[in-house]
Structure 1
């Protein structure tokens, strides 16, 4: 039996890759293992090998599936949302859709409240695969009852943990340096839900009753925590210890221990504490390791711990309650008999997790899967991933250094910081979206640069102004559309920027810009502002802001009623730039602030745009040299990349809400415009440099790539890549 074994990309410190590798080693006696590894996009060792998948290259997933179909009997996948490309690892769907052999997926990092996107992905995996494997009974319940996956598709197979032959407890304590001390031990990945700050606070109280007590923690900062805040949590923890005067009583080793070393600490400590602050935690490898090592366990009352430590296998305390934690630990440290009883309960229960048993269960499952009939691969429905080339973050860095802004600022470099305000705003939007797909510190540095530039472009009255290029960089003109666009982008930063400082700066700028937003009169300014408000209100409900959004919505619908007529369904007598934002704003009015009675406006405005901008499935935007007006035929040139982006954004939103075939087709047509499927059959995207032009212009032989055009392509690429994965969602 030849098993394809797919390991997701993960940070070396998060333990998933090590666990997956150990499982492959345990399965090796039962089957021939063909390893398939997801690697970073820039991995130089790929060289077209079918068994390495670059994280965000969708065609790699399809090619790997085709190879596996020919050479393997079944496939076992470790599904880790951040371990695959696109939103919540949605790129895995392009792989599972192309598989014809039986397959199963082990679901990691499932929370008690999965969001709608994760639910849809799991439902689709349940449809594509023979089985989904839950690592605990609580995870299985969430899959079945919240994600609506049929119960017969779900198998529960717990974490596998090695069972080591350990010396006596006295020898272990001497090796660990625990002699003569009452040792409280904890380990795992450091993050703000770990609860180590709660345990440190409890230690001050424990030491009052047990002066010989010490806390030993060993582990690294979680990669996701490090990505969003560096070592902020660790630093705060060390300062907390310093203020409490416990530097000699609390030892924090910021590293990953070996398996042998960890087992010694777990077996040698007096009490193992799991202070997790997330009550809805469904799985915990660190708790399973403590059970197998035979530790006496005290844990906060998470869903997983309640089940694991039932029948007196451990003590439970309320979440986020240092007083209760201190009291429980202090009482146990007085009762050696109780501690020994808890250790014995752990040892008696550890057979549930030891690798020999777990590997046997996987072998049985894989053997059963191989007896099933091959399935038919699911065809790519609307978007061909082979037509979506790879994107590299380095392209943005090169564009920032070498390309001109590509706007009315003239021939200036972005690095000179004198581009127009809307270019900085669009840069923030593109970099923010890219960060969610390919986290990169250099991109975040660029994002900070653009936010600072936006902040510097406030006039004395604290209203946003448009920056015109001149030697002194003075603010000279005012544009409603720019105000709305910047407001819209800042709302996205507040909602989804990875760094707290970025979110705080954007929130401050949002507040400052609100008066100017409410006086906006242009159609695009109102639409963009309304989109920004709706994005913000989805995550941060606010009655006052909802009322202001309704006021803007009334303006937009009033303009539509005033200007719309037979054959012209728009909010003005002329159409401005980025026309897709108007129906997008109407849609968000309906969905977020629950404005009723605009259904006809939504349908007519979208149909109108499709009539004007699409011809025989080719995207054909209106030329910018002469604005499209009521009663006038559209100009053919110059065609703007940002018109394509606005329409892509519109269809991206529609796909997430309705998933109609035509939405996928129109979105893909907008993307194909960049790579040559346009009225001139000219490629605006430069495959060699990764840059892109921002205008399709007749009579120009060489394509002049710009930062603005590269940003437009990037946004279109991200939304199209996500749609290519979403086309498989159930």
Structure 2
């Protein structure tokens, strides 16, 4: 279980970046390139792997990047997500715009982010005020997966708060970055472009009807009348999508308009896509930058940020980004679609050179807030805010959990199923699943005197007893808060867990009376298992049978159950497994290691080496599947449950970590290798914060545990299943450490401060 990559720390971050990328000709590609270049320049401690979204129609050389994603190929997203997870990155930074991902409105991005294990940083280049149903669904899904969200305008942040409920703890506004160049070099760059001392107006961008350039051209006659030397430079190629559909008809229409108005000689066309350095040189040569966009919802314009940072006077329609960046006299606003308004604003500035220079200086001062060093600092801070916390110190690993969090989940009936935060939720009542687990905990827990241990044990035993339906030979599962059973027969799983708890109590109950009761109900319940063939229910019952045999080696019913269950599990494994999928089923579900653990126990007790070896092999496979590239435990996510031959990382649940601990303990009994102890402790550390989100789930002081890890961190609820999984995992890893002690010469117990009291093994 050696990690492929060492875990990064604060001085060495490793980030995967997803988006279109240079040399692709689009604004987001330019932004992604700037993001990587500028953070790499000012924060070299951050390393980037770039995965570029590509269009098969474009054959581009992306240089030395980590990979490409064909935007319309669903399999490419799955392949890339797997590669990113295996690379052990600290976070994934995804650039989102609806048009750059494949599928309906770009919905292939949703399945992609579901597969990513590292924290997700989401940059939203567009936040729509009135999204369509599909657009809203996509963004909602992305926001549920994102650890941090970046937007470039306050307006976008307000929309996210109003429409999607995103709070400041996950939302950061970082204005679009811009270059840091000296102020006032127009004359030098005009000379470079052979423009002399002419007043220069400029608009830049991929040409299309949404740019409003026709209105600026319509304003030129009035501007030329007052300033006959003026030149309007229109820099940029026609948008490739428009070019593919309509050719150069839009540009030709603009040129025809200029001819009709008699201003064609006052326009220079730079009909090509220019890279950032050339764009900056072009901007430096202009006096007034014009953005006459008719649509007012554009929340980000990189070239507007560049123009302001270079100290250019800006005449603009009040679209969203412009309203924020050009406020307080930084620029001048004009009415959308109004050539007269543009002409008046431009002439007003050219008529008054002092006023023009004052506006340019205000723009330059404003631009100091967004220059690349400031942008890079903000981006680096966002990375640190997103990545998982540092690993826990070993000294905290084996502290004995308190029990107050456990007891406050209980009343005189038993333990409640669920909680809202740390408050027990009476609405969901009780279940035999949790009360059976609670009984097992009472068989093991330190911290109670004999009288209290007996009282708590009898409370949970009474619940299990009352759950027994002798007419059906099965256990009920769910009971309401009114103490009425909600069913006559519980699920196969709940019946398997009840048998398991009875087998455990038959051997480890706190007194002989309790052990006698457990033996009797175990024997009575065996008959009801005859028609159960659910793999997990069988595995749970087999673990109870293995314990029953420990106390009574010739128990015929328990041996028969192990024989039948072992045959079923071994048959499933042989039928389903393939070279890359050494498992019992085509899907991964919950409590996965229990299947291997049950087969190991059956092989051990029945002297079936083939079953034992199959159990060990399958357990090694699931252990590898649940080990991240950074050497952390990554529990099979609940999103995986119905997806054949896939493992998705969220939501991760405590039950899986406990199962990994206990299965490793069973494996060590038949294969005393250090790797099983290492895997068990890795799984236990998951509770304490050594996980994909650095989320501390377990509170050792109270013994509470949160309900799992979501893409955004810990689920705040502390239900019975989670509390019991943490508590039982603790005693399981302590027991395994004591089993391992002879192999290690005692060094593990001493170096890890493991309690010296031997503890009963949980199986």
TM-score (norm: length of structure 2): 0.47
TM-score (norm: length of structure 1): 0.49
